A and B are shown apart, each in its own frame.
Chain A
Amino acid sequence: MDPKTYKFDTLSLHAGYQPSKNAGSRQIPIYQTTSYMFDDVDHAAALFNLERGGHIYSRMSNPTVQVLEERVCALEGGTAALATASGMSAIFLTIMTLCNAGDHMVVSSQLYGGTVNLFRLTLPKFGIKTTFVKPRDTEGFKKAIQPNTKGIFGELVGNPGNELMNMPEVSKIAKEAGIPLIIDSTYQTPYLCRPFEHGADLVVHSLTKWMSGNGSSMAGILVEGGTFDWMQNDKFPSMTEPYEGYHGLSFAEEFGPTAFTMMARAEGMRDMGPCLAPQNAWNILHGIETLSLRMEKHCSNALKMVDYLSNHESVAWVSHASAPGHPDKELAEKILPKGTGSMIAFGIKGGKEAGAAFINNVKLASHLANVGDARTLVIHPASATHSQMDEATLKFAGLSHDMIRLSVGLEDFEDIVNDFEDGFRAAKKPRLVANK
């Protein structure tokens, strides 16, 4: 006897939506509205006071966005989710729900540049400080924990250097300390890894990337695993003590495995309001319908690309967890058995000038500040996504000036290679290219 609950591919097409409750519409309607009619005064009061479910105002929730939230939640194996305007707003909302002024976070050093700046420069304005730890320094995460530490945050596969954080081991450290582990799983998507199965408590995504795949829309999401016991210690008073904003409600007592998301919505969306536009939610939902198919092709193209780059005379080094000799290969095989994703970092011989020439001369690959598009993308992080970092921070984050970040797309592999050959040819003559 086996459960007949729906599996991954089915959930990616159907979770969170019932046509019978939407005029029989097979496609998910776009509820382009700001607000929702109340039945009567009693109904309005009940909705505002979290006595019953439903929608009030699209800053807090929206029926189209709700489908996206449930769908991602189902795919991740979580209990609740909250979609936001972007991946960065999902991270900000998560930290602002978790921390108060005077609190501290332990954070992996290898992150998207915007996330580094959030922890390094912006959160201190709110009295929240951070200790950065290199992703492979598992013991370092333990040593960095202070009495006021409220969580550990990291990207499983770090951007852009592709160093892995040992999520199962770091999770044990977080559990011993009684704090949640938060994983930015944008690079993996739930198709490659479901972090809750490896000890994470909260997951955030930029849905703008592989989950969407079409490069049309910004979106982010916070997903809760339902496993973290907020009442195990006195570290999280805003979750466990009566909250004045809802007549003394204790979110942990009342909502248990969905408490964090309920609070993030009730307080965070109410007060900060980084809500997702329903049109964008709809666009992302379209992408998710083909997530499995796309991720398979992304990963197979990436494997071929790693082989091609590793044997290329113009390439100094290649970093991808599938590459022979990669320090995290064994860990990757354990927690990313379906593939290690389509992000590759490589060093081009000739350094920064050669890198610039390469990027200026590829035609098929798009030079832009995004990853996870269906199309192949390239960028030189030191002069773009991570350009606001000083030399020391760049080094600590594992960046070098010869690094090119490649997001492998779904094009025919031979066409990507032909394009790259043009780039490598030009990179051999950087001065000529620079002056043309």
Chain B
Amino acid sequence: MKFKVRGIDTFASTGGRPFDKNKPLIVFVHGSGLSHMVWVLQTRYFAFRGYSVLAVDLPGHGLSSGESLKTIEEMGNWVGDAIEAVGCKQASLVGHSQGCLVTMECVAQHSKKIKTLTLMGGASAIPMNPELLSLAEESNPKAVDLMMDFAHGPAGHFGGHPVPGLYHLNVGSMIVQNKEIKDTLGVDFRACDNYKNGPEIAKNLNLPTLSILGAQDRMCRLKDGKILADYIKGSEVHVIENCGHMMLLEEADQTLEILKKFILKNDPIK
């Protein structure tokens, strides 16, 4: 669905169902350089089970217009505005990787709008490898190759996508490469590298929170994900074994099952 946020054309997948602002809303926020397409194995399930979903494309990403936002703070604020733009008062948030920082920031800035928070492959800070950051800012495709290497666990490198016929290393790569790399991945990596509010925000979160972590995550390591979860009062933590950073693709079924239980418990359909 296309709608406007701050006057800019914005795209969000509604999971294949017409958007209904009267249903409980779940907003999915993608990671660096990616788009709504990474969420297809989570969004459609909820969309056909009584929820409204928005897997947003951040400005300048996927099918959204505009330029990429340069800080995590701006992105967090933008997500809050997007919820308002579709006429909703509250939403559950689900973020992946950089999307975890964005959704935490959104909770900090728009606390009354957010009912639950799910963090997938998150950490309280995501400092970037300087070489990887430079490559991304130079639009060097090697940055995407390195990202795909780091983002997938050892098992994920062999493939085995849950959807028959899809090869997830190249799917992620093409989502990033279909845009100018420096304008999306480069800007996002820099925003992650600069962001320092994570620990403080995490300590002050006061809403149902779930962390889903990959045991072999090399982008946001398991120990860093656990440190973030420890900051958050009462956070649920689930570790998926034999899985890297892209749990939403590498272990899509397990990820959906964990998310489903959490959402149904904390943001049930009335």
Contact = CB atoms under 8 A, between A and B. Distances in A.
Nearest to A243: B16
Interface string B136-165: 000000100110110000010111111111
B116 to A, nearest CB: 21
Interface stretch (B37-45, B72-80, B99-107): B37-45
Nearest to A78: B170
Interface in A50-96: 50-55, 60-62, 65-66, 69-71, 73-74, 77-83
Contact of A80 (B41, B148, B160, B167): B167
A253 interface: yes
B155 A20 contact: yes
B83 interface: no
Nearest to B37: A256
Contacts of A227: 174, 178
Interface of B: 11, 13, 16-18, 35, 37, 40-41, 44-45, 48, 62-63, 129, 131-132, 142, 145-146, 148-149, 155, 157-167, 169-171, 174-175, 178, 242, 252-253, 256
Contact of A5 (B37, B45, B145): B145
B178 A257 contact: yes
Interface of A: 1-6, 14-18, 20-21, 45-46, 49-55, 60-62, 65-66, 69-71, 73-74, 77-83, 225-227, 229, 231, 246-249, 253-258, 261-262, 265
A234 to B, nearest CB: 16
Contacts of A55: 164
A53 B163 contact: yes
Contacts of B174: 79, 225-227, 256-257
Contacts of B17: 247-248
B16 A80 contact: no
Contacts, number: 154
Given A52-B162, A247-B16, A226 B41 contact: no
Nearest to A60: B164
Given A3-B148, A52-B252, A78-B167, A249 B157 contact: no
Contact of A15 (B11, B131, B167): B167
B149 A3 contact: yes
Contacts of A74: 159, 167, 169-170
Contacts of B158: 6, 14-18
Given A16-B167, A254-B13, A4 B149 contact: yes
B178 A255 contact: no
Across the A-B interface, give the 4 residue pairs with the lowest CB-CB distance, nearest first.
A53-B162, A226-B174, A61-B164, A53-B163
